[in-house]
């Protein structure tokens, strides 16, 4: 049934995920939802030096929020920070250099961050789509290390800080591509069979949806959400999916349009009136499975994923006091 899922997803994408889909959906947006002052609130955005992450950070900065940019590349991150400060006039922009594919890096960063800062909203935006099977220095498949394990560790490590915060939220940027994947816990690092980077990425994004649902059940004081930004014109899309970009470039959303729902989930009062753990597109909760797609997984597989990620994460956790 994979041909069915892929076909339905692509047709749905042409209708809803492009710039035209955003323009249609945005007619029903309430501008007041995001016209808010968030001065005094602290936001952490991963992958914030370009694309949707930078667009989100910039909009939060415009609204007075304290923004922590978590980026891998120091030079590009410093340029992004300067741009955000210059365009918004907000001086409360802080830069942290962390490689989200390196679990030891994340643990070390989070332990330091917990001791030095407050946090109201975590935005898990960093991600990658590596089209050939590539291992990190820790022997982890790069897509899994970044998209799934990195998101898991960053969130888990910062939960104690979020549990103490007022109106705490976690927003994870996923993808509609996850609709073509059923959770597969038997091969988390994609070592069996031929390697398809696009499908590995989609599997990671399905895993992020499951993580969000599981966290929402376990942490009632925090509002969790996961979202699809649509098909946006970002540096990541241009570099990871050049054929797709060439075919769709005239129909892709802007970075700001892709970031709109991230911002809405992070700052609006309306978002937290909806249940925790939902999947969003264009400010609306949407199903996490296509009709007749057979992508549902048994609860025990979803619980097992959490257990496996916890075991992975603990291997890289420092024994030094945090």
45 CB-near residues (< 8 Å, 6+ apart): 53, 56, 57, 60, 67, 68, 69, 70, 123, 125
Q: Are 211 and 152 in contact (CB under 8 A)?
A: yes
Helix (H/G/I), strand (E/B), else coil: 294: coil
Compute CA 182 distance to the chain's CA centroid, rounded to the nearest angstrom. Answer: 19
Active-site residue among 4, 22, 201, 294?
201
Closest by Cα among 214, 124, 106 to 169: 124
Distance, in Å, from the CA atom of 243 to the CA atom of 248, rounded to the nearest integer, reads 9
C-alpha 208/C-alpha 197 separation (Å) is: 17
Q: 85 near 93, Cβ under 8 Å?
A: yes
Q: Can you tell me the distance from the alpha carbon of 265 to that of 252, in angstroms, rounded to the nearest whole number?
A: 22
To which H or E segment does residue 71 belong? Answer: strand 66-71
Per-residue tokens: 217: 């059940």
For the four alpha carbons of 230, 226, 51 and 126, in that order, the dihedral sign comes to: negative
Q: Is 201 a catalytic residue?
A: yes
**Between 151-163 and 197-218, two packed helices, what is the crossing angle to 10 degrees?**
20
The secondary structure of residue 33, as a DSSP letter, is: G
Active-site positions read 201
């Amino acid at each position: 049934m994979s041909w069915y899922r892929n076909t339905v997803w692509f047709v749905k994408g042409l209708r809803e995920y492009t710039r035209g889909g955003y323009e249609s959906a945005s007619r029903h947006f309430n501008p007041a939802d995001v016209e808010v002052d968030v001065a005094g609130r602290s936001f952490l955005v991963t992958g914030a030096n370009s694309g949707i992450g930078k667009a989100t950070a910039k909009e939060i900065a415009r609204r007075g929020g304290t923004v922590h940019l978590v980026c891998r590349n120091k030079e590009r991150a410093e340029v992004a920070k300067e741009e955000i400060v210059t365009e918004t006039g907000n001086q409360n922009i802080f830069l942290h250099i962390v490689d989200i594919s390196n679990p030891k890096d994340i643990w070390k960063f989070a332990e330091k961050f917990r001791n030095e800062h407050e946090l109201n909203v975590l935005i898990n935006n960093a991600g990658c789509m590596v089209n050939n099977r590539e291992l990190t220095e820790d022997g982890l498949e790069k897509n899994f290390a970044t998209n799934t394990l990195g998101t898991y560790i960053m969130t888990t490590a910062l939960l104690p800080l979020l549990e103490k915060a007022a109106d705490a939220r976690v927003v994870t940027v996923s993808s509609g591509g996850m609709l073509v994947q059923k959770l597969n816990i038997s091969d988390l690092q994609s070592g069996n069979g031929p390697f398809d980077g696009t499908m590995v990425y989609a599997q990671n994004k399905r895993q992020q949806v499951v993580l969000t649902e599981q966290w929402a059940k376990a942490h009632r004081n925090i509002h969790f959400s996961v979202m699809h930004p649509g098909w946006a014109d970002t540096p990541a899309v241009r570099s990871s999916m050049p054929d797709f970009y060439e075919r769709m470039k005239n129909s892709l959303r802007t970075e700001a349009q892709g970031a709109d729902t991230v911002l809405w989930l992070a700052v609006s009062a309306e978002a937290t009136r909806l249940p925790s753990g939902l999947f969003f597109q264009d400010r609306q909760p949407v199903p996490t499975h296509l009709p007749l797609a057979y992508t549902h997984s048994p609860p025990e597989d979803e619980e097992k994923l959490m257990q496996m990620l916890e075991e992975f994460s603990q291997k890289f956790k420092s024994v030094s006091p945090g």
